[in-house]
Amino acid sequence: MDLALAPETLARWQFGITTVYHFLFVPLTISLAALTAGLQTAWVRTEKEKYLRATKFWGKLFLINIAMGVVTGIVQEFQFGMNWSDYSRFVGDIFGAPLAFEALIAFFFESTFIGLWIFGWDKLPKKIHLACIWMVSIGTILSAYFILAANSWMQHPVGYKIDKVKGRAELTDFWAVLTQNTALSQAFHTLSAAFLTGGAFMVGISAYHLARRKHIREMKTSLRLGLITVVIAGLLTAVSGDTLGKVMFKQQPMKMAAAEALWDGQKPAPFSIFAYGDVDKGHNTVAIEIPGVLSFLANDDFTSYVPGINDVDKAEQQKFGPGDYRPNIPVAFWGFRWMIGFGMASFAIGLAGLWLTRRKFMLPQHLRVGDDEVPHLVLFKNKALSPKLTPWYWRIATWTLAFPLIANSWGWIFTEMGRQPWVVYGVLRTRDAVSPGVSQGEVLTSMTVFTALYAILAVVEVKLLAKYVKAGPPELTEADLNPPTKIGGDTSDADKPMAFSY
Amino acid sequence: MELHDVWFVLIAVLWTGYFFLEGFDFGVGILTRLLARNRPERRVLINTIGPVWDGNEVWLLTAGGATFAAFPEWYATLFSGFYLPFLLILVCLIVRGVAFEYRAKRPEETWQRNWETAIFWTSLIPAFLWGMAFGNIVRGVKIDRHFEYVGSLGDLLNPYALLGGLVTLTLFTFHGAVFTALKTVGDIRVRARKLARWVGLVAAVVALAFLLWTQADSGDAASLAALIVAVVALVAALVANQLGREGWAFTLSGATIVAAVAMLFLSLFPNVMPSTLNGDWSLTVTNASSSPYTLKIMTWLAVIATPIVLLYQGWTYWVFRKRIGTQHIAADAAGTAH
């Protein structure tokens, strides 16, 4: 059989495509749920109409996005059984539980309350309607936690034993699976990155409108909210990334050595800015490095020893028998860098934006603007950003929207490919996890179908988003400003059209 | 009663919940072609399930996740074995979800018509395939000593399973029709009742044939009792529909689904997926289940979470209890205003 089309290769490609695609929507769903909830809370508390318009605007984009997140998530759950049945047989005892928790606790929460929120504008009193979007937000975060705990178990299996008679892994400590440091740091890192994504999304779209002097009131509020989110989330993403990195250096030394293209252990170990390796010979032909930084990243100590790819490979051969225990080094190395690079770029742009648009009481009189004007971008005391640079700043801010999406995708590619050849680190190899009974033709069919379907849906979704982004916040109606006082809606006019209908 | 027996019951409950709830969602989707005469009427139908279809679908995700956790072998054999039918179901569920959410997001006629077509087919196909899948599970398929499915796609297309597909298709359509009669007002309500009469009669004939076949193949006293309940409930649902007692008609069509699913699981027990090649290679509640520790964790989850879910999901139906008619559908088909 042609190796390029072996069922294992196809199943891996399918998992990669469907997972990265699903994860384009997930972080936006998580963060936009909370940000929309925040804006709606501001509306309920202040009754300023700009908050309601902003809630409706971001809420609409959130809904277009969550629809895709939900439907692509269905595939994720059943893919384990379809393409990875031997994986499911071997670890289902452990891996199935967090998935069941996710469905029964988080999915029901999300999907029920999202229905209430979408259709409830004229059926629920203001505060109950607001509670619904907060419930959705809680649901998205819970959902993320359970699935990340499951993934963390694949990176670092705990709380289990191998039953030799049954030939499977069995759960011994569910609490350990849910609360091991891998799960905690992965959840912390992924959720921070999710908010970085949502913040950048808000910044990008607000900047697009402000550059055109449209919807200024709502977009100024949204821009500031987005910028603050980007900066806080960016900081947390960096901190949690460092924490997660240190955990991985201990638990998956091969992954981190590959992330650095560090072939042989060094003391102190340098951080590589650029490397071009010769995988067959096991060393880099080109490398630009900063001395000592990798030691610090791994162990908080600039002079400590960090094992290299070749060392870990030898150690694993002794432990697990002969074989090649190296992941795809270029993908791990560059994936790691793209993740950090694009993540940090969004953070830097957010920080610059926060400074340039700082509050009016910090500015001299002639640079202050009213509520209905686009803010001046003020560089430092008494000096605005030059007129030449201003349009560029708005443009760059708009592009920022895409940066975290790229960083997220590479983050997953790095962490999942960096684990290879293992699907459960040190316990089960990826090649032993595929469905033996599923033919090459079947996997090829499903991969083709999903890829084609996803491509079509991507076009539809992006066009729809663009349409609603351009349309801007909606005009408010009488019904919007007079929400019902009773559950089920007020009965004054039984034949009045619904506030929202499909 | 061992924990794996408890979980057999719980998995049956989850599938029952799924078929009861998404059953009428599928039915309403099918009725967009059979019942609705124009766009406003199609929108009335879609909006009867608008706020709830997504929550109803989670029953499937929970059934899947719980099967994975409680019976990993069953989950692995089932989803890798019935590969292409499940692929088709997944594609339908993806397109269907997007169709509901995106249909009204643009005003163009072609756009809306295409999504409406999608809603019809992506409701009809899974409604048939679920029955076919369960028909095959109950009848037994070619499973080897390693619990691998070794049959072909053609093996899944046997008469018994195809009849099972027709049962779910007609039963869900009937269930959707009495649901529509319960949830709408005006002309469409009257026509839904009329349509329910005919669809219900067809469903009764098909279901009776399939359930008797099942009983003859692998039934016992308990499954016979469930069969009788299912048939009586279906006849009673038809009578209630005839008398215009819509609440009763819906309750009884739901009871039909519950009893029919119960009958299938009763005739299945203690197997979860029998092998037609060798009885020793059948997947059973014992050899397909997880360890007692995992089942205990899962039981705690089910005991605590399920009542809460039922409570707030039920509350949703209370919030949206008002009937819908064409007058409630805003004239701007674009749906851009909100």
Question: DSSP states of B13-31 as a string?
Answer: HHHHHHHHHHHHHHHHHHH
Low-confidence ranges of chain B (pLDDT < 50): 333-338
Could you tell me which chain A residue has the CA closest to the CA of B338?
A500
Could you tell me which chain A residue has the CA closest to the CA of B94?
A71
Locus of tokens 């309601």 = A52
Other beta carbons within 10 angstroms of residue A211's beta carbon come to: 17
- Digit-coded pLDDT (tens) for A430-479: 999 999 988 889 999 999 999 999 999 999 999 999 999 999 998 888 88
E strand or H helix at A59: helix A49-83
Q: Is A108 in Cβ contact with B58 (below 8 Å)?
A: yes
Give Cβ neighbours of residue A47 (< 8 Å, ≥ 6 apart): none
Q: Terminus-to-terminus CA distance in chain A, angstroms?
A: 49
Could you tell me which chain B residue has the CA closest to the CA of A471?
B336
Rounded CA gap, A263 and B148, in Å?
42
Q: Is B86 in Cβ contact with A445 (below 8 Å)?
A: no
- Give one DSSP letter per residue of A69-120, joined into a string: HHHHHHHHHHHHHHH-HHHHHHHHHHHHHHHHHIIIIIIHHHHHHHHHHHH-
Rounded CA gap, A263 and A248, in Å?
17
The closest CB to that of B290, out of A77, A92, A453, belongs to A92
- Give one DSSP letter per residue of A295-359, joined into a string: HHHHHS-TT--B--HHHHHHHHHHHH-SS-----HHHHHHHHHHHHHHHHHHHHHHHHHHHHT--
pLDDT surpassing 90 at residue A300: no
Q: What is the pLDDT of residue A29?
A: 95
| A residues 178..237 contacting B (CB < 8 A) | none
Q: How confident is the model at residue A367 (pLDDT cuts 50, 70, 90)?
A: low
Q: Is B69 in Cβ contact with A163 (below 8 Å)?
A: no
Q: Which residues of A touch B306 (CB under 8 A)?
A: 104
Taken as a whole, chain A contains a residue count of 502
pLDDT surpassing 70 at residue A365: no
Q: Terminus-to-terminus CA distance in chain B, angstroms?
A: 53
Task: Tell me the C-alpha to C-alpha distance, in Å, between residue A277 and each of A25, A184, A253, A264, A288.
Answer: 34, 33, 18, 12, 12
Q: Which residues of A touch B150 (CB under 8 A)?
A: 437
Q: Which residues of B touch A474 (CB under 8 A)?
A: 336-338
Other beta carbons within 10 angstroms of residue A365's beta carbon come to: 6
Mutate to test the interface with A, among B82, B101, B108 (most CBs of A within 10 A): B101
The closest CB to that of A97, out of B69, B321, B328, belongs to B69
Q: Which residues of B touch A124 (CB under 8 A)?
A: 319
Q: Is B98 in Cβ contact with A438 (below 8 Å)?
A: no
Q: For A418, phi and psi rounded to 5 degrees?
A: -70, -15
- Kindly state the DSSP code that residue B284 receives in the 8-state scheme: E
Q: Is A108 in Cβ contact with B309 (below 8 Å)?
A: yes
Q: Is B69 in Cβ contact with A100 (below 8 Å)?
A: yes
Could you tell me which chain A residue has the CA closest to the CA of B41?
A502
Q: Is B100 in Cβ contact with A502 (below 8 Å)?
A: yes
Could you tell me which chain A residue has the CA closest to the CA of B83?
A82
For chains A and B, CB pairs below 8 A equal: 266
pLDDT surpassing 70 at residue A360: no
Q: What is the pLDDT of residue A363?
A: 64
More confident residue, A337 or A365: A337
Mutate to test the interface with A, among B77, B313, B319 (most CBs of A within 10 A): B319
Structure tokens at A335: 């994936």
Q: For A422, phi and psi rounded to 5 degrees?
A: -95, 145
From the CA of B73, how many Å to the nearest CA of chain A? 5
What is the CA angle A416-A418-A419, rounded to 5?
70
- Digit-coded pLDDT (tens) for B182-217: 999 999 999 999 999 999 999 999 999 999 999 998
Taken as a whole, chain B contains a residue count of 338
Q: Is A435 in Cβ contact with B80 (below 8 Å)?
A: yes
Q: What is the pLDDT of residue A279?
A: 66
Structure tokens at A229: 């989110």
Task: Tell me the C-alpha to C-alpha distance, in Å, between residue A393 and each of A204, A362, A369, A378.
Answer: 11, 21, 18, 12
Q: Is B148 in Cβ contact with A103 (below 8 Å)?
A: no
Q: Is A497 in Cβ contact with B329 (below 8 Å)?
A: yes
Q: How confident is the model at residue A292 (pLDDT cuts 50, 70, 90)?
A: confident
Torsion of CA A282, A288, A291, A295, to 10 degrees: -50
Nearest alpha carbon to residue A470 among A205, A201, A222, A204: A205
For chain B, say whether A77 makes contact (Cβ under 8 Å). Answer: yes
Rounded CA gap, A309 and A325, in Å?
9
- Digit-coded pLDDT (tens) for A186-233: 999 999 999 999 999 999 999 999 988 889 889 989 999 999 999 999
Q: For B158, phi and psi rounded to 5 degrees?
A: -85, 160
| A residues 84..143 contacting B (CB < 8 A) | 85-86, 88-89, 91-97, 99-105, 107-108, 111-116, 118-121, 123-124
Half-sphere exposure of residue B72: CA atoms within 13 angstroms, side-chain side:
27
Q: Which residues of B touch A61 (CB under 8 A)?
A: none
- Digit-coded pLDDT (tens) for A377-419: 777 766 777 777 888 888 999 999 999 999 999 999 999 999 9
From the CA of A464, how many Å to the nearest CA of chain B? 8
Rounded CA gap, B146 and B144, in Å?
5
Q: Is B66 in Cβ contact with A103 (below 8 Å)?
A: yes
Lowest average pLDDT, out of A111-120, A490-499, B8-17, B213-222, goes to A490-499
Q: Are A67 and B101 in contact (CB under 8 A)?
A: yes
> How large is the angle between the packed helices B187-218 and B109-139, nearest 10 degrees?
20
Lowest average pLDDT, out of A11-20, A481-490, B85-94, goes to A481-490
Q: How do beta strands A271-278 and A283-290 pair?
A: antiparallel
Q: For A284, phi and psi rounded to 5 degrees?
A: -90, 140
Cis peptide leading into residue A421 (ω within 30°): yes
Q: Are A179 and B299 in contact (CB under 8 A)?
A: no
Q: Is A435 in Cβ contact with B294 (below 8 Å)?
A: no
The letter for the amino acid at A110 is: E
pLDDT surpassing 50 at residue A101: yes
| Adjacent-strand bridge partners of A171 | A160
Could you tell me which chain B residue has the CA closest to the CA of A435?
B80
Q: Which residues of A touch B335 (CB under 8 A)?
A: 500-502
Q: Is B79 in Cβ contact with A78 (below 8 Å)?
A: yes
Q: For A274, phi and psi rounded to 5 degrees?
A: -150, 140
Q: Which residues of B touch A441 (CB under 8 A)?
A: none
Rounded CA gap, A370 and A378, in Å?
15
Q: What is the pLDDT of residue B338?
A: 36
Q: Which residues of B touch A68 (CB under 8 A)?
A: 98
Nearest alpha carbon to residue A140 among A190, A96, A106, A177: A106
Q: Which residues of B touch A63 (CB under 8 A)?
A: 101
The closest CB to that of A70, out of B43, B97, B325, belongs to B97
The closest CB to that of B54, out of A64, A114, A453, belongs to A114
Q: What is the pLDDT of residue B195?
A: 95
Q: Is A80 in Cβ contact with B50 (below 8 Å)?
A: no
Q: Is A100 in Cβ contact with B51 (below 8 Å)?
A: no
Q: Residue A379: helix, strand or coil by DSSP? A: strand
Q: What is the pLDDT of residue A271?
A: 82
Q: Is B104 in Cβ contact with A502 (below 8 Å)?
A: yes
Rounded CA gap, B255 and B251, in Å?
6
From the CA of A61, how many Å to the nearest CA of chain B? 11
Mutate to test the interface with A, among B11, B42, B88, B105 (most CBs of A within 10 A): B105
Q: Is A435 in Cβ contact with B65 (below 8 Å)?
A: no
From the CA of B238, how many Å to the nearest CA of chain A? 30
Q: Is B147 in Cβ contact with A82 (below 8 Å)?
A: no
Give Cβ neighbours of residue B336 (< 8 Å, ≥ 6 apart): A471, A474, B105, B107
- Give the largest CA-CA distance in chain B: 63
| Adjacent-strand bridge partners of A424 | A428
Locus of tokens 């002794």 = A318
Q: For A169, phi and psi rounded to 5 degrees?
A: -90, 140
Q: Which residues of A touch B76 (CB under 8 A)?
A: 81, 85-86, 88-89, 92, 435
- Give one DSSP letter per residue of A158-202, joined into a string: -SEEEETTTTEEEES-HHHHHHSHHHHHHHHHHHHHHHHHHHHHH
